[in-house]
Amino acid sequence: MANRHLARSTVLQTLYEWDFSDQKLNPDDILKRDATEFAPGAEHNHFMKSLLDGVINKCKDLDNIIVKAAPEWPIEKISIMDRNILRIGLYELLFANREQVPPKVAINEAIELAKKFGGETSGKFINGVLGAVYKEMGEPGKDDKGVDKKTITKETLVGAVVYTRHENDVYVALVHDVFGHWTLTKGRLEKNETEEDGIAREAKEELGLVIKIKDKLGENTYETFHPERGKLRKHVVYFLAEAPFEELTLENKEDKGGLDDVKWFKLAEILDLNFYDDILPIITKAINLLIKS
């Protein structure tokens, strides 16, 4: 058995015991015991600890994704073994370094765990759930022929906090992704397109709204890895934009890989939502401007 597969099997045993105890036992203590029993002298102790910590820290997000990807199976009705195989598979599919764990490897490893430790239909079930999420992601790496991992491709994107005023309240339009986060509408600039024209087009394509730019909110930069294109450095310019209070529709949903919902929220409701850390300063600045205006 390959060392990393053995490491994943050991983490699965640990998660099973942790979950079986209603998540009351110390997972580090369980892992230490399981590693001694199932993987003595293993070379991947750091990998096991990192994987275990990652799954536990992201457990709520992972379970939300499972609920969306398998709505006919309430999370508490999924067997403890299958539930934790899904958590491992989803964590590696969504949050692991893709240079080390390509999407296809994450899915195949989870299926192998299901065949070894799950029930008769576990492999098919795990494959179905992970396959659905993989498709929503846009199937990264589907035609991967290898990339230069040292090359960094720069991309410029535009985004917006889109708001409206209705019956003495201020609302903000947010889109929801399959990873359990509410976020802002954004997209890549097309050739010879200004930032203002780009976000106006994106808002129309994604939200079905005609917007009017009011202010520039700020910028942020982050890096990701794409299996076909290598390292991407994405620079996003954000605007504050007003729109009429109209029904929101997630236009071209099949082309918006990873997005599954869109909704108006009152300003007071926004504080309770799950956002990505990098857009919180943008949203906070927008809220302050809207409150003052």
What's residue 272's pLDDT?
84
**Which residues does 23 contact at the CB level (< 8 Å), separation at least 6?**
none
CA distances from 165 to 94, 173, 190, 243 (A): 36, 11, 30, 8
Phi, psi of 238, deg, nearest 5: -110, 145
3-state SS, residue 80: helix
Nearest CA to 49 out of 90, 15, 89 is that of 15
Range 13-23 burial, b when 16+ CB lie within 10 A, else e: bbbbbbbeeee
Phi, psi of 229, deg, nearest 5: -110, -5
* 8 Å CB contact between 174 and 160: no
Q: Where are the domains of the chain?
A: 3-136, 152-292
Nearest CA to 265 out of 255, 275, 251 is that of 275
What's residue 141's pLDDT?
62
What's residue 3's pLDDT?
76
Query: Using CA atoms, how far apart are residues 104 and 139, in angstroms rounded to an integer?
Result: 9
For the CA atoms of 136, 93, 149, 140, the dihedral, rounded to the nearest 10 degrees, stands at -20
Task: Identify the DSSP state of 189.
Answer: P
CATH number given to 3-136: 1.10.940.10
CA distances from 194 to 144, 203, 234, 235, 267 (A): 32, 14, 17, 15, 29
Residue whose structure tokens are 């990998």: 47
DSSP 2-23: -HHHHHHHHHHHHHHHHHHTTT
User: Which residues in the chain land under pLDDT 50?
Assistant: 1-2, 146-149, 227, 253-257
Q: What superfamily in CATH does domain 152-292 come from? A: Nucleoside Triphosphate Pyrophosphohydrolase (3.90.79.10)
Task: Identify the DSSP state of 185.
Answer: E
* 8 Å CB contact between 52 and 84: no
What's residue 41's pLDDT?
65
Query: Using CA atoms, how far apart are residues 159 and 48, in angstroms rounded to an integer?
Result: 38
Phi, psi of 259, deg, nearest 5: -100, 140
Query: Using CA atoms, how far apart are residues 159 and 166, in angstroms rounded to an integer?
Result: 23
Nearest CA to 193 out of 157, 238, 140, 234 is that of 157
What's residue 12's pLDDT?
95
Phi, psi of 82, deg, nearest 5: -65, -40
What's residue 143's pLDDT?
55
